[in-house]
Amino acid sequence: MKIAIGADHRGFELKEKIKSYLKKKGFEYHDFGTISNSSVDYPDFAFKVAESVADKHFDSGIIICYTGIGMSIAANKVKGIRAALCLDDLMAYYARAHNDANVLVLSAKFCDLEHIYRKIIDRWFSEKFEGERHIRRIGKISNYEDSTYRR
């Protein structure tokens, strides 16, 4: 499994720790930045990760900012991305099993490190999309995304 990972300045330290965890678990990853805790704009990193997943260069993405909200909003602007902010392992389960989410969004503020490692990330990568009735729902999202309707 190839993972794209990125963070803004508020998520930088957590990203570095997650990279070590991913390596320990045997995952291949590419770090799209940022490279320090100096102030940057979160959309730049959300877009890089989301585009790399949408283009199928990576199987999944992880993006981190202070709350996770900004990264979620930005990543979900990329066609084909279903980015899910997960604050616990149950949210990670539903994001993968029901929504076939392909980008995990984490909060550096609202999740403790041990919970992120042992529960959220492990659950995210262990769950599979259930398909069935969820395919229809995801299809509606994709169809809307492809439509010419714009406000």
Please report which residue ranges of the chain form alpha helices under DSSP H: 12-24, 42-54, 69-75, 89-97, 113-115, 122-126, 133-146
Q: Is 8 in a helix, a strand, or coil?
A: coil
Q: Which two tokens stand for residue 111?
A: 């999740």
Q: Which two tokens stand for residue 117?
A: 């490692």
Query: How far is it, in rounded angstroms, from Cα 41 to Cα 53?
Result: 20
The catalytic position among 9, 57, 98, 115 is 98
Q: Indicate if 115 belongs to the active site.
A: no
Residues 45/33, Cβ–Cβ less than 8 Å: yes
Strand partners, 62: 5, 104
**Nearby residues of 17 by Cβ (< 8 Å), 6 or more positions away:** 113
- Return the active site residues: 98
